[in-house]
Amino acid sequence: MPAQVSGAMSRLLAAVREFTIAQRTLALLGVAVLVLGGVALSAWLAQPKYSPLFSGLAGEDASAIVDQLEADGVAYQLADGGSTILVPADKVDQERIAAAAAGLPAQGTSGYQLLDSMGVTASEFQQDVTYKRAIEGELASTISSIRGVKAASVQLAIPEESVFVSEQADPTASVFLETSATLSEDQVQAIVHLTSAAIDGLLPENVSVVDSKGTLLSVVGEGTVGNSAQQASDYEQRVRQTVQSMLDQVVGPGNSTVVVNAVVSNESAQRVEETYQVPEGAPTTSESTSTESYSGTGNGTETGVLGPDNIAVPAGEGGDGYVNESATKNNALDKVTETTDIPAGAVSRQSVSVAVNRDAVTKVNEQTITDLVATAAGIQNARGDRVTVELTSFSTDAADRAAEAIESAKAAEQQENILRLITTGAIAAAVIAVAIIALILFRRRSRRTPAPIDVGSLAVAPAGAAGLDAAAGAWPLAPGANPPALGDAATVPLGPLASQAPTEFERLQADINALAGANPGKTADYLRALMDDRQTV
C-alpha cells in the first residue's frame, strides 16, 4: 500500500478512535442508511420494466392468460381491475405469440375469424348474420386503435335487398365508444367516415356515434356535429378570435373587446329548384304543320260544312268552303335543376358587438373599424346580421388591481428571497462555526502533552541508543533535568515508582528524548514533517 494511502488510513482510524460514543453511533447509523439506500436503489434498478400484454380482457380470457403465464414461469402484474395484464417488456412478443397459438383471448375473436368456423351446412340467414358480425367486429377493433378510445362497439342496420321494393332504404350504423379522453371533432369525423366507407351505400350522415357518457358525437341526419348550442358556441368562439386578432393589430392589444352572438339552426332540409330558359338563337327540335281548305261553285248542291249536332250549315253566298290550318313547334329549352341540402348547424343570424378604448384610438375612426369587423366576421345584411362598434373609455380598475397584485407579489418574493438568504447564511455560519470549533479542539488535543510525572531520580540510557530497555531500568528524564554524562548507563535511585512498569507513552517519550540527544538534526526533521502533516486544508 502506498505511504500516502496508509497515512490517510491511519489518520482516519485515529480520528475515528477519538469519536465519542454518540458520534460513533451517529456515524454507524449514517453508514447503515447509506448501505440500505444503496441496496434499495439497486433492487429498484434491477426490477424489470413491465409493458401491457393485453388490455380490455374479459374475466375468462384474463384467467386463462394468467394460467398460461404461470405455466411459463413469467412474472406478471394486473391493472385496471384485472382487465389489463402487464409482463416484462422483453417477454411481450413471446407471450403474445404463445397466447395466439392457444387461441387467447377467445372473447376478442369477433372479426373475420368467425367465418373460419362456419360450415357448409349453414343457411343463408346464418351466413348473412355471421358476415355482418364479422364486419362489426373488424370495425370495432379498428376504431379501438384510435388514440383516446378504450373500447368500441358497432351495430349495423343493413336492409335486405329485394326486387319487389321500389325504394330501397339506406343502411345506418351506430357506434358506441368508451373513451379515455375527450375526442376532437376530427377524430369523430374519422370514425364516421371509417364506418361509412366499410359498408356499401352507407352515407356519413347516417352514422350515429355515442360515447360512454351518453353524449351524441354524431347524429343521424345532422352529421358529425353536436347540438345547436355547441355549434353556436364553436362558431362564436371562432369568429370572436378572428375579429379580436384583427383588432389587436389595429388598435393594440387590450384596447378592444369583442362579443359574438350567433343563432344556429338545428333543423336539416333539402331544397330543389328547377328553372327553364329559351336559349337565344336555338334551333327548333321538331315542327308539325297541317293545312286544310275547301271551295265550291255555289250551285246549291252544297250542303255546307257540318255544324253542331252534325247539322249542315249552308255555305255563304259565293260558294266558299272552310280553311283549317294548324302548326306545332318544339323549341330547345335550358333546364337547370338545383338540389340544395341544408344541414343542421347553419347560421341563420349573427350579431357582433365591439367596444374600443377611446383613449387609445387616435388614427382610426369608428366607420373604418365597423367595415373591418363586418368583413372579418362575414356579416350578411340579407339575413339580418348586425355590427355595433362603440368608442368608449375603458375602466382601469382591473389593470390597477393587477398592477398592485404584481407589485405585492414582487415584494413578497423579494422578502422571501431575503429571508431565504438570511436563513442560508445563518445555517452556513453555524456550520462554519462548528467546523472551526471542532478544528480548534482537534488541534489543541493533538498538540497537548501529558503532565510531567514525578518519579524522583531516573536512569538515563547511554547516548546513541535507538531506544531504552525498560527491563534494564532505563527511564526518561524529568522535565527540566540535565541528562547525566554519556557513557555507561548511570544508575540513580528510582524513588517510590521503581516497582511500577513503564507505560507506552513513557517508553515513546524516552525514545524521543534519546533520539533528540543523539541526533538533534534528524529529530527536528521529523518534528517539521509531523507539523506539515497536521496542517489544515
Nearest to 229 by CA among 263, 269, 186, 184: 263
What is the mean predicted confidence (pLDDT) over 167-175?
87
Q: Which of the pair, 507 or 348, is modelled with greater confidence? A: 348
366-377 vs 228-251: helix axis angle to the nearest 10?
140
DSSP element (H, E) containing 151: strand 149-157
Of 302-311, 416-425, 513-522, give the lowest mean pLDDT range.
302-311
pLDDT score of 15 more than 80: no
- Render pLDDT for 24-36 as a digit per residue (tens, 0 to 9): 777 788 788 888 8
Contacts with 82 (C-beta within 8 Å, 6 or more apart), sequence order: 57, 59, 62
Nearest to 251 by CA among 402, 351, 365: 365
**Residue 139 zone, left/alpha/beta (φ > 0; ψ -120 to 50; rest):** alpha
Which pLDDT score is estimated for 491?
44
Phi, psi (rounded to 5 degrees) for 163 = -80, -10
- Render pLDDT for 221-264 as a digit per residue (tens, 0 to 9): 666 555 567 778 888 889 999 999 999 888 888 888 999 998 87
What is the mean predicted confidence (pLDDT) over 489-502?
48
Report residue 183 CA to chain centroid gap. 14
Rounded Cα gap, residues 157 and 172, in angstroms: 5
pLDDT score of 148 more than 60: yes
pLDDT score of 78 more than 70: yes
Which pLDDT score is estimated for 445?
66
The proportion of the chain whose per-residue pLDDT surpasses 70, expressed as a percent, equals: 74
pLDDT score of 346 more than 60: yes
Of 244-258, 413-427, 479-493, give the lowest mean pLDDT range.
479-493
Rounded Cα gap, residues 207 and 221, in angstroms: 8
Rounded Cα gap, residues 223 and 192, in angstroms: 9
pLDDT score of 88 more than 70: yes
Length of the chain: 537
The proportion of the chain whose per-residue pLDDT surpasses 90, expressed as a percent, equals: 9
Report residue 195 CA to chain centroid gap. 28
Rounded Cα gap, residues 350 and 386, in angstroms: 7
CB burial string 149-166: b at 16+ within 10 A, e below:
bebbbbebebeeeeeeee
Query: What separation, in Å, do the N-terminal and C-terminal C-alpha atoms of the chain show?
Result: 23
pTM for the predicted model, two decimal places: 0.39
Q: What Cα–Cα distance (Å) separates residue 24 from each residue in 21, 28, 74, 339?
A: 5, 6, 46, 95
pLDDT score of 488 more than 60: no
Mean pLDDT, rounded, of the chain: 76
Q: What is the 3-state secondary structure (H, E, C) of 39-107?
A: HHHHHHHHCCCEEEEECCCCHHHHHHHHHHHHHHCCCCEEEHHHCEEEEEHHHHHHHHHHHHHCCCCCC
Which pLDDT score is estimated for 355?
92
The three-state secondary structure class of 456 is coil
